[in-house]
Amino acid sequence: MEDIKHYKELKYCITTFGCQANIADSSMMAGILEALGFEKTEDFTESNVFIINTCSVRQKSEDKVYGIAKKLKGLVKKPFVIMAGCMVGSVTGERQRYEFEELQKRTPWVDEYINPTQLRNIPNILMNRGLIGEWAMQKFSSTDVNQVYKTKEIGYVNISYGCDNFCTFCVVPYARGGEVSRSEREILREVKHLLATGFKHIMLCGQNVNSWGIGMNEKFKIRTGSEQNLPFANLLRTVHDMEGLEKLSFLSSNPFDFTQDLIDAIKLPKIDNFLHIAVQSGNDEILKKMNRRHSINDFLNLIEKIKKEKPDVEFGTDVIVGFPSETREQFMDTVKLFETVPFNVAFISIYSPRKGTPAERFYKDDVPLAEKKWRHKHLNDVWKRNRPVGGSRVRV
């Protein structure tokens, strides 16, 4: 690229879709690019490097990515486009949901693809493509990379990557690979840096934070409300006591390994009063088909235990309506759950098959779309009627 000659003239833009884990990844990629001398711009048409950090959880999220092609078409100077995130993770690694070539055919405007485990490959990619020189690489040190955020509202820290739960509807175990816990040393270093740069609110992120630091065999033996001690609970206590911290949150936690040790830890004064615990359905038969390791009684007992120890707690959850074979009667069990537990926040999704998942391969998507839409509206109306005063709080 002949017009790229001066180190300080390089600009980058990052567009992020999806969850807090992706926000944390984007902040890390921004840190890498700024360590290489790039300057940030919000306008991708002005950038030399444009990174799209993708989400695969819903088809709507992928469709937004495909729509970027229209914005790139006709540009006199097209930036170097890198696709990152879960759409790339879904077609690479040992857990591919579908073939890489299929994604390439749908995104011919992308110059390079990196999955969530390859963020630190960005410097080599840019050097090999002629966007930076060897002298920039010599100056770059991966150990000095720090996250870069738009604001200092919340600092997101990924404590683990990937997932081994294999809920039948979910793409995450494929898109992000097997669950790997980051070391406590790395996590605390990152938190310390964020606090030193002015952040007061830290959020610890992972696909299932409860199982941080636990081996594969052990984590699947843990059950809701058990007396099992969790390394994650101790991590919360350590971060809680760090100087400068005012508020500590975490996402995501599941009901099936939310133990008494974790309930005790969240009583600490700086732990956020908002807890997001994904239930997904109010019917035990549907939960079993989803490969969720909890029952509705497990969930309700957990909610009661938490409320007893932390009376001001606010709850958020995720629910899917119209899962394969879900009857109207089974759906009404979810309605009953929402009438029993006043969720402050509820992410209610209409089921859509995700290519390569067990639900897509083994279950027929047999609930009519009109019925799914009715259930979505009905449950949303029930949630609005029953949510606590102030339940429309900002969704983290």
Q: pLDDT tens, 53-111? A: 999 888 888 999 999 998 898 888 899 999 999 999 999 878 888 899 999 999 999 99
pLDDT at 94: 81
Length of the chain: 396
Closest among 12, 5, 73 to 46, alpha carbons compared: 12
Token output for 122:
């960005």
Tell me the percentage of the chain whose pLDDT exceeds 70.
95
Closest among 211, 224, 214 to 255, alpha carbons compared: 224
Q: pLDDT by residue (tens digit) across 338-379?
A: 999 999 999 999 999 998 999 999 999 999 999 999 999 999
Q: pLDDT by residue (tens digit) across 30-54?
A: 999 998 989 999 999 999 999 999 9
Q: pLDDT by residue (tens digit) across 114-171?
A: 998 899 899 999 999 999 888 778 777 766 677 787 777 899 999 999 999 999 999 9
Sheet architecture: strand order including 112-113 = 39-40, 11-16, 49-54, 80-85, 112-113
Mean pLDDT, range 3-8, rounded to an integer: 44
Q: Give 185 or 7, the one with higher predicted confidence.
A: 185
pLDDT at 390: 60
Instruction: Give the integer Cα–Cα distance in Å for 48 and 3.
Output: 10
Non-local CB neighbours of 130 within 8 Å, separated by 6+ positions: 1, 4
Which CATH fold would you assign to the domain 7-141? Answer: Rossmann fold (3.40.50)
Q: Could you tell me the residue ranges of all domains in the chain?
A: 7-141, 151-272, 273-396
Which CATH fold would you assign to the domain 151-272? Answer: Transcription Regulator spoIIAA (3.30.750)
Tell me the percentage of the chain whose pLDDT exceeds 90.
73
pLDDT at 211 over 60: yes
* Per-residue confidence band for 5, with pLDDT thresholds at 50, 70 and 90: very low
The vertex-376 CA angle with 373 and 379, nearest 5°, equals 145
Question: Fold match between 7-141 and 151-272?
Answer: no
Token output for 149:
């955020």
Mean pLDDT of the chain: 91
pLDDT at 4 over 60: no
Which CATH fold would you assign to the domain 273-396? Answer: Transcription Regulator spoIIAA (3.30.750)
As beta bridge partners, residue 314 has 274
Instruction: Give the integer Cα–Cα distance in Å for 34 and 28.
Output: 10
pLDDT at 143: 67
